[in-house]
């Protein structure tokens, strides 16, 4: 695992503009953000410039300066993403196209389009962008994206306050708040589909890294979906009441996803929006917002501690299952998704 300064120097050598959040102490917490990659947190550290960098960075791709046709996976330990990925409301397939990997394309808004920095300080950065996306059903969406990342003090972390030994740990804690707003003239309905916010993370595996995911019990469905892109070995995953533990020891681990909590294993994690009960609420204006807060992505020496306590009020239809094309690749197929409509309000907290 490279140290934080090495990763930062590499990005600068490739002419990648970075912003840094810092607690302003020589051996303290730092967070590296790249506005041109949608404000992704590329890496962070708990021990200053010479401390380990916790984010996985795809050096060969970045150094090549290439633009790939499907997606440019530059890495990053906390990045903004939109769903659905598959099904009739997917933003990743053209209308009428078979839903297989050959036809899968990540929209530029989530791949190559920079976000504009509207606020920056030592502890907080805020970025915004307006994008237009089309889904597989032919509907168009004008979306305002508002993303902010804040470096927290240990005393601001509800999760750390519950750990007696927290004061003896080297930690980096940050919160991202992500909001999308309907800027178009048309409301988001079950017939048109609607976007959902995902947060994804990529971390370098080690022989001694464990990811801890405390989760809230309310909700329905399975706690962890561990076969998102292939089954996760049973000896790497342990689920107990209120806590999920994942040993991040393999270079190419499958994704793990949950309706109540989700985490990166060794490669990437996906966090679909939790299910909610239908509602008859109808807003007067064709405007919708959705907000997710990823609070305190805490990094400790040789471990990453995260928790998820989502609460959601999202009017939606029952979930639709998506059957992939026979030409799709099982390990790369997008997940099934269902549309949300009109007013979307979701809050996810990770500490």
Q: What is the C-alpha separation between 26 and 323, in angstroms, rounded?
A: 53
Measured CA to CA in angstroms, residue 247 lies from 79, 169, 188, 216, 328 at distances of 22, 20, 39, 21, 29
The pTM assigned to this predicted structure is: 0.71
Estimate to the nearest angstrom the gap between the alpha carbon of 104 and the chain centroid: 19
Rounded to whole angstroms, how far apart are CA atoms 135 and 339?
11
CA gap 205, 317 in Å, rounded: 38
Alpha carbon of residue 338 to chain centroid: 18
Distant-in-sequence, close-in-space partners of 59: CB < 8 Å, separation ≥ 6: 10
pLDDT in tens, the chain (351 residues): 899 999 999 999 999 999 999 998 888 999 999 999 999 999 999 999 999 999 999 999 999 999 999 999 999 999 999 999 999 999 999 999 999 999 999 999 999 999 999 999 999 999 999 999 999 999 999 999 999 999 999 888 887 888 888 778 889 999 999 999 999 999 999 999 999 999 888 888 888 888 888 888 767 788 888 887 678 888 889 998 888 998 876 544 445 444 333 333 322 232 233 333 333 333 333 344 555 555 434 333 323 333 333 322 233 333 333 333 323 333 333 333 333 333 333 333 343
At residue 299, the pLDDT reads 39
- Report the DSSP beta bridge partners of residue 146: 128, 179
Question: Which residues lie closer than 8 Å to 66 by C-beta, 6 or more apart?
Answer: 72
Nearest alpha carbon to residue 334 among 135, 75, 55: 135
Rounded distance between C-alpha atoms, residue 17 and residue 169, angstroms: 31
Length reported for the chain? 351
Q: Which residue has the tokens 């120097």?
A: 9
Closest CA to 135 of 203, 56, 179, 194: 194
pLDDT in the model for residue 293: 52
Whether the CB-CB separation of 298 and 190 falls below 8 Å is answered with no
């Amino acid at each position: 695992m490279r140290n934080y300064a090495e990763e930062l120097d590499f990005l600068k050598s490739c002419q990648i503009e970075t912003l840094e959040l810092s607690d302003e102490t020589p051996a303290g917490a730092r967070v590296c953000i790249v506005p041109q990659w949608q404000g992704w947190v590329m890496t962070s550290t708990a021990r200053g410039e010479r401390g380990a960098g916790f984010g996985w960075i795809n050096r060969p791709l970045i150094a090549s300066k290439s633009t790939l046709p499907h997606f440019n996976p530059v890495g990053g330990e906390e990045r903004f993403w939109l769903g659905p990925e598959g099904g009739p409301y997917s933003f990743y397939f053209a209308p009428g196209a078979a839903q297989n990997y050959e036809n899968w394309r990540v929209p530029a808004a989530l791949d190559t389009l920079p976000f504009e920095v509207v606020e920056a300080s030592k502890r907080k950065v805020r970025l915004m962008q307006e994008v237009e996306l089309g889904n597989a059903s032919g509907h168009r969406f004008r979306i305002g994206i508002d993303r902010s990342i804040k470096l927290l003090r240990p005393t601001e972390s509800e999760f750390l306050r519950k750990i007696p030994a927290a004061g003896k740990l080297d930690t980096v804690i940050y919160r991202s708040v992500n909001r999308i707003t309907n800027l178009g003239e048309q409301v988001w309905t079950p017939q048109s589909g609607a976007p959902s916010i995902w947060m994804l993370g990529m971390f370098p595996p080690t022989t001694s890294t464990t990811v801890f995911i405390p989760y809230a019990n309310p909700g329905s469905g399975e706690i962890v979906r561990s076969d998102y892109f292939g089954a996760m070995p049973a000896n790497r995953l342990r689920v107990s009441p209120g806590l999920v533990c994942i040993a991040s020891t393999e270079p190419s681990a499958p994704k793990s996803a949950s309706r109540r909590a989700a985490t990166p294993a060794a490669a990437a994690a996906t966090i679909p929006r939790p299910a909610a009960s239908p509602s008859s609420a109808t807003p007067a204006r064709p405007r919708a917002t959705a907000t997710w807060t990823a609070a305190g992505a805490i990094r400790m020496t040789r471990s990453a501690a995260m928790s998820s306590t989502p609460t959601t009020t999202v009017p939606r239809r029952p979930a639709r299952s998506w059957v992939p094309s026979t030409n799709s690749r099982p390990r790369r197929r997008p997940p099934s998704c269902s549309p949300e409509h009109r007013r979307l309000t979701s809050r996810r907290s990770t500490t």
